[in-house]
Structure 1
Amino acid sequence: MTIPADEAALIPLTTDAALQERVTDLLQCAFRRQWWTLYLDADDRQLPVIMPMAGYPHDPTEPVIDGSGFPGTAAQLLADRLAMMIEDLGAASVVFVWERPGSAESTPADRAWARELADACRAETVRVRAQFIAHSRGIRWFAPDDFA
């Protein structure tokens, strides 16, 4: 059920089922390889920011070579930037959606990114509320046991 953004912002997403329903309403299924972030406040209400990012590296442990002088991996750089976004938005947690065409089953690349980014976020004290896979036929919960 799709609802207007101003109404959606009032509804806390306190259960996993409610959060998955919201992600499904927003994204429905995969069209290309990209990564989405959604931000939640301290009451688990969605903030009015949802960000896609295409073109992220295939290997989350790839060293960053972008001229910024960041001393770490691709996953660590993203976690560092997420920490800034969380602070700027006044968010309490973030939700990741790994969009990629294909089956609902996680791939080694899905698991590597989910694991490395979750670890990097913990190091930056960024709370990851949930991770999902958007695949060709829908949205699937990506539980920590799936990428351990």
Structure 2
Amino acid sequence: MSGTDVLDQLFTTPARTDDDVVALVTGVVGRPLRRQCWVLFLDERALPVPFLLPVSDLPLQPDEHVDDLATLVAEVCADNSAAEVVLVWERPGETELFPVDWEWIDACACAFAEHAVRVRGQVVVHATGTAMVELDELEAEAEAEAEVEHGEQAVRS
């Protein structure tokens, strides 16, 4: 099967499950080459909309431009009849998400919700493969950081 056939199949297969989403991202993004975010658009049947939005040169930490990104994505959704989006975090050379990545994940989830953009899921593409970002991981990491901070405060007291 040629590369074009694979892409045709990906764009005609609904991304209803997390495995479907991961397969779509793997087929579209491939292996990570540069630190950036991709926005993939899905229609009301969970079929990929043939419009991809790569976003590079993001600042290290989320800032007021996250709202601009959410506004842009909301407009693209309206213009392309997209019902939901998949956010993809491309991270070459990395094998895990770092606190700054979690800040982006959280900031985008909040900003997109404020603009009524439904996020089907967030996906990370890094050196060990492609996987759905589980928000449980974010909560666990925040709890671990709070415990460390609490322990440091107890030592200072």
Give yes or no for TM over 0.5: yes
List per-residue Cα deviations over 1:92-124 (Å, max 9, x = no partner): 001011111233321111100000000000010
**Larger CA Rg, structure 1 vs 2:** 2
1:77 match: 68
Does residue 126 (structure 1) correspond to residue 117 (structure 2)? The answer is yes
Q: d(CA) in 2 for partners of 1:5 and 1:135?
A: 21
Return the letter of the residue paired with 1:16.
D
Match of 1:40 among 42, 46, 60: 42
SS in 2 for 1:126: coil
Task: Give how far 1:147 is off.
Answer: 2.8
Mapped pair 1:23 → 2:25: yes
Deviations 1:41-96 (A, max 9, x none): 00100011112111011111x2xxxxxxxxxx121111111111110111000101
Tell me which of 75, 93, 106 is aligned to 2:97. 106
Aligned-residue offset at 1:4: 4.2
Aligned amino acid, residue 77 of structure 2: I
CA RMSD of aligned residues (A): 1.7
Q: Which amino acid aligns with 2:135?
A: P
Give distance in 1, aligned partners of 2:95 and 2:132: 10
Counterpart of 1:147?
138
1:138 has 2:129 as partner: yes
> Corresponding residue for 1:65?
none
Q: Aligned residue pairs: how many?
A: 137
More helix by share: 2
The runs of 4+ residues in structure 1 deviating greater than 6 Å are none
Identity of aligned residues (%): 34
Distance 1:95 1:39 in 2: 6
Q: Could you tell me whether the CA contact under 8 Å between 1:34 and 1:52 is conserved in 2? A: yes
In the superposition, the TM-score normalised over structure 2's length comes to 0.80
Structure 1: gaps (5+ residues): 63-72
**Range with greater deviation from structure 2 (41-50 or 22-31):** 22-31
